[in-house]
Amino acid sequence: MQQRIPPGFIQDLLARADIVEVVGQHVELKKAGSNYKGLCPFHGEKTPSFTVSASKQFYHCFGCGAHGTALGFLMEYAGMGFVDAVKDLAGRYGLSVPEPDLDPQQLRQLQQQRSLHAALVDVLQTADAFYQHRLRHSDRAKNYLIARGLQGQVAKRFGLGYAPDDWQPLAGAFANYNADALVQSGLVVARDAQGDPIEPQAESFAAVQRRYDRLRDRITFPIRNLRGEVIGFGGRVIDQGEPKYLNSPETAVFHKGEELYGLFEARTAIARAGYALVVEGYMDVVALAQFGIEHAVAALGTACTVQQLQKLFRHTAQVVFSFDGDAAGRRAARRAMENALPLLSDTRVVKFLFLPTEHDPDSYVRDKGVDAFEREIARAQPLSEFLFSSLFDGVALATAEGRAQAIHQAGPLFAQITAPALLGQLLGDFARQLDMPVAELRTVLQLSAPARKPLAPAETFGRQSATASMRPRGGRAALRAFAAPPDLLRMVLPMLLAQPALWWDISPAQHAMLAQESSPLQPFVQALEAILEDQPDLSAAALWETLRAAGHAPESVLSQSPDPLELDEATVRQDLFALLLRLERTALLRRQDALVAGGLVDAADRAEYRSLALRLKEIDQARNGLDGR
């Protein structure tokens, strides 16, 4: 159950916090006018484009578009959830997060979750210390790592350890080997009288008859979350044996499909390199780090999941997968590609590196050297090329049947891509290879035609007047061109997020128009109204986080707009009211059309039509006044 933070506390916390201080602990900032600048921690760059505003309590990167408050920074940089970010920031400033207003049962459930999480992390950290201690005293384990070419410094950085070859070695680390937490954490396997396993998340462990350590005679690799807590282990067999790698099971703190080995250690290096390298094994990550390639992570025994990719894309806009070049490696790459498709944007890049079948990244670097490996990465296959090679594999494009087969296979894949520019490029390339018109291909694939391109953000918000494109063209068609923005709320909402006080300058009639505007963002408008009605003096930063706490994503609203840090406040106000005029014109023309469709037979209808025409003229005059400002 997600803890709910009282909205007033978020505002108080952000008023107390200093975003320059919070960000400055991780990014070297230098004063630049009224703001601070530094190298963006979310993508690699050599020229600072990352700006922090002390007055507005926001950060923004003009290179990759990252934007947020002090809470947002902790969430993106440290990978924290919202509640954990609130607790972390509150702790820095000596504040206690108030308990949410829950009924006794909900409060009891929340306290149990917290207690279980703390208990499991505690036993896992104790086991980690035990395994590391045993590695230092096991010549056999140390010799294995030395034979693999690993140095002690790297082994220490990643916390490598050794699980002794015995049934219950952890009994030497815990006073009570029968504690439920050892089973719940996945450290110990429990079986009942029939020999059946009892899952770590079972409600009761009363039926446990036999216990033994899950990891035995294995090199241990602690798996950390982005807070640095040990949440599970991977274990590699030292000699021959199956399975070669053994992971912790699913527990209350460890979900294999959501975690990436080495991401905690690789965060800074990923930002510096500008991309994340996803490899197949723990040993690849550790070995590459020893050679200075510190931006590698590993999926935990499966193809990279959607959740793992979402986590990676919080740290970088480019991901390179490294797979073996055999059939199994290409199948894994195909699954990773399919999982990546719905997450692609026009600024995200996914590539695939296939090494020779006799090599993995570890062996390739040792045999060929770091420079050769980096050249292979530079030549990695873009997702588009891999997509087409997958679609055309074994297909006879010279025949109508073969082309139809390729189109049939492409349909479900293309349907997942929401990035408009990327989808258009892929469709164009696909159509050329099939020798058919793009429009026909769209129809066959049942993809909707591309939407009319909206006005560029610079034309609608801040850098240039929203009315700059509203020049008279003559005739009713020109009026309709002016009156039909693609999604007016997407243009209005960034202004209100930048300057919440403008909400109170909007008339009741204009509020009603916003509430009636058809848009996927309408729930966001309703949440904004409810929050500001309840807390009329919210700062922009506090509004941002209160919306996030209510389940909305302010950053998605700003994703196609210039950042509020660079906007002139007077310009924002003028642009907002210009857009509201535009919205009113749309409604007036729609009503006129309805009256005309009715034949204007009644005197009342004709009078209303004339009244609407007068108001349209007033809007034209107001628009012309804005154009000449």
pLDDT digits (tens, 9 = 90+) for 82-122: 888 888 888 888 788 886 667 788 778 878 888 999 999 99
Per-residue confidence band for 457, with pLDDT thresholds at 50, 70 and 90: very low
pLDDT given at position 591: 82
Residue 467: pLDDT over 70: no
Highest mean pLDDT (candidates 424-428, 526-530, 553-557, 564-568): 424-428
Task: Tell me the average pLDDT across 206-225.
Answer: 96
pLDDT given at position 451: 40
Task: Tell me the average pLDDT across 251-268.
Answer: 92
Residue 280: pLDDT over 80: yes
Contacts of 230 (CB under 8 A, 6+ apart): 121, 124, 125, 127, 128, 159, 222, 223, 224
Task: Tell me the average pLDDT across 124-139.
Answer: 97
Residue 153: pLDDT over 90: yes
Question: What would be the CATH architecture of the domain defined by 7-92?
Answer: Alpha-Beta Complex (3.90)
Give the CB-side neighbour count of residue 326, counting CA atoms within 13 A.
Answer: 5
Q: Rounded distance, CA 407 to CA 427, Å?
A: 11
Q: Rounded distance, CA 606 to CA 230, Å?
A: 75
- pTM value surpassing 0.95: no
C-alpha of 356 from chain center: 32
Mean pLDDT for all residues in the chain: 84
Instruction: Write out the two tokens for 523.
Output: 């729930």
Return the percentage of the chain with pLDDT > 70, whole number.
Answer: 89
Contacts of 474 (CB under 8 A, 6+ apart): none
Q: What angle do CA 443, 449, 452 make, to 5 degrees?
A: 165
pLDDT given at position 566: 56
**CATH of the structural domain 258-388, one choice from 3.90.120.10, 3.40.1360.10, 3.30.1330.10, 3.30.930.10:** 3.40.1360.10
Task: Indicate the fold that domain 457-627 takes in CATH.
Answer: DNAb Helicase; Chain A (1.10.860)
**CATH of the structural domain 106-254, one choice from 3.90.980.10, 3.90.1200.10, 3.30.70.141, 3.50.50.60:** 3.90.980.10
pLDDT given at position 561: 55
SS3 68: strand
